[in-house]
């Protein structure tokens, strides 16, 4: 027996769709004009979509439509937006230190963690982590007087694991955790701490071909013979191709990154975490809320190396022939 859909149900459904379209458009306009936090917009939209489905399923009448419309109106009014500090009311911007942005960073050579020499690990930790900690500790007495801002530039790779970035990711993860602890400890002094997890931007952090050759030579000279045999020189030399193609994965427009840093420095209520750039927030959500095998599949498809180590190629060839 077929399901009968009345004209009243159809008209109510069309009104639901109209309200949804109107509210979605107004929220999008508000987000663009007033720089609403994208996480707030996403969560609010998800909750309202669930409420819409529930109202339509349980209350197929104008009562459900009124309930959903009221929820939309309340959500629009209550959605937080970023408000900036009035500069003329902050004398500290002229007479004292208001903010520190720890932006220095090195990438090192991109290779499997087993292949990287310890010097690359130490270099990444020295610059990306210990440098930021030392600068922060040096100037924190001034920030305590001004109740200012501390902004640390971490990375998307500091929040989620990414292949061939063991040294870089470990140093940035340490910086992210340091920033979180500082946010908790310095709040009693009135200092706001934020950490930025950008995705790829074209900042030339990958270095030059001359630097890659030097790092590659250093890597080859420090490999154990059995490790070099198992991986194969062709596999190791192919890793440099990822550096060559790295700019194609990175955005050329730095404005999302700069806007977030400015917000962290000047907003009345800055966020503790910023994720500017393509897929930075998406990758973090997948890593946190999905099974790890799904995240590994997702990141593996994005950053795959088409050549296998020599030992694995030999094993694969042997299994095919048997």
Residues in CB range of 157: below 8 A, 6 or more apart: 165, 168, 169, 172
Q: Where in the chain does DSSP place strands (E)?
A: 99-102, 149-153, 192-196, 273-274
Whether residue 128 contacts residue 106, with contact meaning beta carbons closer than 8 Å, is answered with yes
Question: What's the alpha-carbon Rg for the chain, to the nearest Å?
Answer: 25
Which sign, positive or negative, has the C-alpha torsion 247, 249, 250, 252? positive
Whether residue 303 contacts residue 163, with contact meaning beta carbons closer than 8 Å, is answered with yes
Q: Which two tokens stand for residue 32?
A: 């663009």
Q: Which two tokens stand for residue 105?
A: 């960073």
Q: Are strands 149-153 and 192-196 parallel, antiparallel or unpaired?
A: parallel
Q: Which two tokens stand for residue 247?
A: 């700019």
Query: 168 an active-site residue?
Result: yes
Q: State the distance between the two ends of the chain, measured CA to CA, in whole angstroms.
A: 57
For 207: left if phi > 0, alpha if psi spans -120 to 50, otherwise beta; the answer is: left
Q: Which of 16, 121, 168, 281 is catalytic?
A: 168
Q: Measuring CA to CA, which residue among 65, 76, 71 is closest to residue 16?
A: 65
- How far, in whole angstroms, is CA 265 from its chain's centroid? 18
Active site residues: 168
């Amino acid at each position: 027996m077929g399901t009968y859909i009345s004209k009243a149900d159809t008209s109510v459904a069309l009104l639901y769709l109209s309200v949804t379209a109107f509210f979605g458009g107004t929220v999008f306009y508000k987000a663009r004009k007033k720089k609403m936090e994208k996480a707030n917009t996403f969560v609010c939209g998800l909750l309202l979509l669930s409420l819409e489905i529930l109202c339509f399923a349980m209350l197929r009448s104008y009562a459900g439509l009124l309930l959903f419309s009221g929820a939309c109106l309340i959500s629009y009014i209550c959605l937080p937006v970023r408000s900036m500090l009035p500069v003329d009311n902050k004398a500290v911007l002229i007479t004292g230190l208001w903010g520190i942005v720890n932006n220095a960073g090195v990438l090192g050579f991109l290779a499997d963690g087993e292949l990287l020499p310890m010097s690359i690990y130490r270099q990444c930790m020295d610059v990306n982590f210990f440098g930021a900690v030392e600068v922060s500790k040096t100037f924190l007495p001034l920030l305590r007087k001004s109740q200012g801002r501390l902004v640390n530039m971490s990375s998307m790779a500091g929040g989620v694991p990414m292949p061939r970035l063991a040294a870089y990711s470990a140093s940035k993860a340490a910086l992210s955790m340091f920033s979180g602890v500082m946010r908790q400890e310095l709040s009693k002094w009135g200092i706001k701490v934020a950490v930025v997890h950008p995705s790829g931007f074209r900042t030339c952090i990958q270095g030059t071909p001359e630097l890659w050759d030097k790092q590659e030579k250093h890597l080859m000279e420090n490999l154990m013979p059995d490790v070099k045999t198992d991986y194969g020189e062709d596999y190791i030399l192919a890793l440099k191709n990822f550096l060559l193609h790295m700019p194609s994965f990175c955005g050329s427009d730095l404005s999302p990154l700069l806007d977030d840093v400015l917000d962290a420095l000047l907003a009345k209520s800055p966020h503790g975490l910023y994720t500017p750039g393509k897929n930075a927030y998406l990758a973090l959500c997948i890593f946190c809320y999905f099974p790890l095998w799904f995240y590994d599949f997702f990141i593996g498809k994005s950053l795959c190396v088409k050549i296998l180590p020599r030992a694995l190629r030999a094993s694969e060839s042997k299994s095919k022939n048997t």
